[in-house]
Amino acid sequence: MVDARQNRRIKNRAMMPARFVLAASVLAFGSMNGVEGFLSPQTHSNVASQSSERLMSTIVVHETKEKAASTETESFRPNPVVVSAEAEALSHSATTMKLTPSFDLFQMLPEDEDGHIPAPIGGNRQRDGTVLKVGTPDSLEGLKLTDYKGLGGKQKIEKLPDPFKMVEKELKPFSDSIKELVSTDQPVLSMAAKHFFEKRHGKRFRPTIVQLMAKAVAAATPEDGVDQITTDHAETQGIGGMAWEWSGASDVRVTPSNHQGSDVWRKQAQLGQIVEMIHVASLIHDDVLDEADTRRGGEAVHKLYSNKVAVLAGDYLLARASVLLARLENTAVVQIMATALESLVAGEIMQLKSPPKALLEMQSYLRKSYYKTASLICYACRSTALLGGHAYGSTVATACEEFGFHLGLAYQIQDDILDFTAAASVLGKPALADMDLGLSTAPILYAAQEYPHLRPMVMRRFKDKGDKQTALEALYKSDTAMDKATNLAKYHAQKAVDALLRLPQSDSRDALIRLTHLVITRKK
Amino acid sequence: NQPQQQRQEGGNRRTVIGPVRRKTAPDDIYTHTYIYIFEEQQASKTMFPSAAFSRTSAVATRHAGRGRRSTINVASHQCKGRVATASATAASATAGTASSGVVRTLASSPFPDLPLPGSIREAVKSSVLEEASKPNSSFWRGDDDQQQPQQPQQARHHRQERNTSVPVPPQEGDAAHDDSTSTSSRYAAGRTNANDTINGSHGSHKATINDPIAQDRQHVTGSSAAATTDANPPTTTNLDPHPLIHFDPLDEWYLDRSPTLPLHSLPAGVRPLADGADPFALSKADLDTLSASIQRDLIGTDHADHPVLAKAAAHFFEVGQDGGKKVRPMMVMLLSRAMASASNSCGGVDVVVDSVDNDTGSTNAANMATTPAAISANGIPQSQPRPQPWQRQDLPDAQRRLAEISEMIHTASLFHDDVIDGADTRRGAPAVHRVFGNKMAILAGDYLLARASIYLARLRDVEVVETMSTIIEHLVRGEVMQSHGTGDVYNERVVYYLRKNFYKTGSLMANSCKSAALLGGYDDAVVNAAYCYGKHVGSAFQLVDDVLDFDGTSSTMGKASLADLNAGLATAPVLFAAEHFPDEMDRLIDRKFGEIGDVNRAVELVRQSDGIERTKDLAHVYVELAIDAVMELEPSPYRDSLIHLAYKVIDRVR
């Protein structure tokens, strides 16, 4: 028994280094100097941190140069995470991941709104749409969402498989087991937590995505990545950047045929649960913060059980989620999901504490949406790929994150549009809730571009009497604001589909396309 | 794998028996003894015999072996008849090899004069004792342990293995059995085996663990033991010698109390505070680095974007002259170094103190033999010990990061607690939510937790991630336990309270310490020792906090005096006072001191009873347990400083 436990511990520990041995040897090939800290452990504390600092600073310099060259609108760059750059750099050794926020990896605004494709860095380098589909025909090649009904086209989206039906059976035990997971010996706490899982009318959107994504990535063969390391790293990234980029994958190989019911499948399903728990925890805390009266139809937890329990229940779910996360036995996934957790807080902070000028910026609105909504989805998608045996920097994992990023943004923008168009009873939360909180979302921002007199109101968060009324009138008067917002949602949905199309065709991939369609055509 | 299955089948439901207060001696040497027994429905079958009881006997034995707890010795002399029987049986059981030293060890256990009272026996009988009294009961069988018959020669086996370094399967079952049936005539033999079980389990970890008691005993019995030879040393098995770590850690089994306990009698071989074992001096360099790093990483200097959040975080790390009591990081850092010294010394490289046996006044020969290196003048080794080849090479950095994480989790919990409690001040400074508002307090807490998770993930050790994540869960549980419910009857209340204390305070320390050991890749015995140290110090810490709530004034405590009472919480002094004044105090507790004058009346009752004394004693017992745990590590200034740190916990006045 001792042996088994110790073996396991040793194995866990050995697993990561083993992955990095390869990377280390490649590094040694590139430059002996750079690997010093990596290979000579005795002096780790000094040399490694120095060298990694040097590494990171070169990367940072590189990145900033890139940005300065590509755009001049970077002057406003909110960093909602209160960690100094040096600290961030120091805490990354050559073997830990350097996670870049997805909005620095993928395009956030269309070109006609000053958007641009970010420079290739770790995490978005592999975006070739052909490598994964060699020899496998794709009947949906070049699919445009606008060809489908509801978005201006004639084709029927129903030809694609129904995403919810597809995983309904697999998620069925899940609804029970998540309740089991949160059950504690403290009835009040579990009541508060269960409250959300039982009473919510949500469609378990996130677990569905994870489940479908898990099936979709099983259809792709994991890439090797070694070629890319030797050819790419010198020119673009400098030393060390690649060490982690081709790591992080769980050491498994699954195919669509043996995926169902496998260990990988189980872990991916668990990831879906974790994502839902994190999401619910953030909702619970948000409720306390926003003091929203209702959320998803049911009454908000904190109204039912007092603030105290709401804070605790949220903490409890987060703690459970971290414990379960550790049990996935993939440290890269732990790190990615922990970052997702931090992103949620970061988004909340941005929402509370943005400087007035930032409230007018489309970019900062999208960043906030990314932190609050998209980050969880896109990190979950990339983690699913990692659990499925794909390395962090692989084409598959990159496509997954890009899909999650754009889907999440599309989802949030659509949500914000519905905030103005749908009645309270349909959406499940009070209409104009965002405005009441002083937040300006896409439609208002576009209206403010058209009517400059809205700008001061946005900047003072609609605090003065009559601000809201004026803003609403301007919005309804404008012909373009709502359309522009809708187009932005469509743009992101299309980008999400583009990312999906880089994966080899499978039923679940096609279901995800239909899900994307659903996200921007939904009426509630 | 029967016990494993039992463990899994066993539900979470506990029934609690105790505490039972008894007069065991006519004079007032032993005024009373508390017994807290947890009976866990099914799981107890494995948990309490094999783990709890043998552990308890280990504690008792080691205390006696070190010549501490003089009261125990005195008490045991009161039942001379039994001692005589015991010594006779012991002598025969060990085939004449046991000298008087062994007998003294035996007799000085607190259990000879503590037969289980009839009521308890009846209550527990059905589920545990009945089964436990069968020597061949399945309880005693380890997972893959072929049941070995009780061998009188076992003592010699172990002693010999100490010389030949052959690992030995511990026989926990026998020890446990004999503890629980203390009146049995086989008592003495069982006791002997219990002692040897301890030695046996240490023998199997000989490479990394020092066992002063065993050496002590070897010193006493050395000549005769060495003279005896045995041709059949048992073969190695994989029985886990520390199964406690698998269970819910609420194992407040036996807590004995002797008011005349000599304060701070250091175990043999531990250097005094002034002689290079000052925890503050030893950890100063590490903690300075840590403060700088927290300052840099979390607070930063120029965070114009979110000054409020930065301020909220800084608020806590900077309040007070010493930035609050950073006892958690200090503990983690000292423990990390203590363990490193241990692992180094077995390779024969690094600093180790030679230990002098205070009890006998002679130098411990065994220690001298295995620890060739001496240390620098004032006993403070300056250089950080290098990780061993089998350890991760960034171990010192990782452990320092872990210390930071533990402080971050602690601070985050304080942020949220302040919102929950609605407290106005904390550590003498205004609470965060009073300064920045509820929203920022919640967010700052969430932010710290998220940051901690990320740092944790970057340690790249999933077991550590899981261990540390459990802390947060425990903190929440503790908080809920505190606000909802107290336990029903009065004897359940104390146990409920102790359990809550573990969740709220002990878990953070215990699991941080455990994680430090896990990071180092030490074996389970060390991990268990680290865990137990943190856990018991945490319990003591909280109990002292409760006492200070009564004793301290606002100015020294930094926390409003009687804050707990005012919040309607019944802490240990109150619960103990309720044993004296059950009717009146129960009423007060039930209405949570809500009516006018209730608080004052409660204070009066506590002062009239011995509630505060008993709480202090309980804290003292916890500290002793913590010291027992840490004594399992190789001697080093760092280990000794941990002992002094534990004493500081109960000595503190604020």
User: B238 CA to chain A: closest CA distance, Å?
Assistant: 6
Which pLDDT band, with edges at 50, 70 and 90, does B199 fall under? very low
Mutation choice for A interface testing from B391, B400, B402, B458 by most A CBs within 10 A = B458
CA distance B574 to B578: 6
The SS3 of residue A460 is: coil
CA distance A198 to A278: 16
The SS3 of residue B633 is: strand
Q: What is the pLDDT of residue A183?
A: 58
Identify which of B238, B306, B313 has the shortest CB distance to residue A2.
Answer: B238
- Total Cβ atoms within 10 A of residue B399: 26
Beta strand B429-430 with B14-17: parallel, antiparallel or unpaired? unpaired
The β-bridge partners of B37 are B17
Residue of A nearest to B302 (CA): A84
Is the Cβ pair B472, A319 closer than 8 Å? yes
A11 Cβ under 8 Å from any chain B Cβ: no
CA distance A246 to A226: 8
Residue of A nearest to B457 (CA): A335
User: A30 CA to chain B: closest CA distance, Å?
Assistant: 23
**Mean pLDDT for back-to-back runs of 10 residues, chain A (524 residues):** 48 39 33 31 37 40 41 40 51 62 88 86 81 83 88 88 87 65 61 62 79 92 62 44 68 81 88 88 77 53 65 82 87 89 84 82 92 94 93 91 96 90 60 78 92 90 86 87 93 95 93 94 82
Is the Cβ pair A335, B301 closer than 8 Å? no
CA distance B168 to B232: 12
For chains A and B, count residue pairs whose Cβ atoms are closer than 8 Å: 204
User: Is the pLDDT score of B256 beyond 70?
Assistant: no
Residues in chain B: 654
Q: What is the pLDDT of residue A315?
A: 85
Q: What is the pLDDT of residue B82?
A: 34
Q: What is the pLDDT of residue B308?
A: 60
Query: Are the C-beta atoms of residues B491 and B19 closer than 8 Å to each other?
Result: yes
CA distance B417 to B472: 12
* Top-confidence range, A274-283, B299-308, B488-497: A274-283
Q: What is the pLDDT of residue B330?
A: 87
Is the Cβ pair B462, A335 closer than 8 Å? no
User: A99 CA to chain B: closest CA distance, Å?
Assistant: 11
Is the Cβ pair B457, A288 closer than 8 Å? no
Residue B398 backbone dihedrals phi, psi, to 5 degrees: -65, -40
A42 Cβ under 8 Å from any chain B Cβ: yes
- How many CA atoms does the CB half-sphere of A392 hold within 13 Å? 28
Is the Cβ pair A315, B309 closer than 8 Å? no
A68 Cβ under 8 Å from any chain B Cβ: no
| Cis amide linkage into residue B49, ω under 30° from 0 | no
Query: Are the C-beta atoms of residues B319 and B432 closer than 8 Å to each other?
Result: no
Which contiguous run of DSSP H or E holds residue B35?
strand B34-35
User: B543 CA to chain A: closest CA distance, Å?
Assistant: 23
Mutation choice for B interface testing from A315, A329, A348, A371 by most B CBs within 10 A = A315
The token pair that represents A142 in the structure block? 């070049």
CA distance A178 to B284: 45
CA distance B608 to B595: 21
Q: What is the mean pLDDT of residues B226-246?
A: 36
- Mean confidence (pLDDT) of chain B: 58
pTM above 0.80, yes or no: no
Lowest mean pLDDT among B171-180, B429-438, B444-453: B171-180
Q: What is the pLDDT of residue B637?
A: 87
A65 Cβ under 8 Å from any chain B Cβ: no
Q: What is the pLDDT of residue A191?
A: 65
Q: Which residues of B touch A79 (CB under 8 A)?
A: 303, 305
Mutation choice for B interface testing from A1, A16, A56 by most B CBs within 10 A = A1
Portion 262-291 of A in contact with B at CB < 8 A: 285, 288-289
Identify which of B394, B473, B484 has the shortest CB distance to residue A320.
Answer: B473
CA distance B571 to B618: 13
Residue of B nearest to A3 (CA): B238
Query: Are the C-beta atoms of residues B394 and A44 closer than 8 Å to each other?
Result: yes
Q: What is the pLDDT of residue B563?
A: 74
User: A288 CA to chain B: closest CA distance, Å?
Assistant: 8
Identify which of A87, A185, A344 has the shortest CB distance to residue B296.
Answer: A87
> ipTM > 0.85?
no
Is the Cβ pair A185, B12 closer than 8 Å? yes
Is the Cβ pair B521, A10 closer than 8 Å? yes
Identify which of B300, B458, B469 has the shortest CB distance to residue A322.
Answer: B469
A119 Cβ under 8 Å from any chain B Cβ: no
End-to-end CA distance of chain B: 49
Is the Cβ pair A342, B451 closer than 8 Å? yes
pLDDT in tens, B354-411: 333 333 333 333 333 333 333 443 444 445 667 877 888 788 888 888 998 898 888 8
Q: Which residues of A touch B314 (CB under 8 A)?
A: none
Is the Cβ pair B305, A79 closer than 8 Å? yes
CA distance A152 to B161: 84
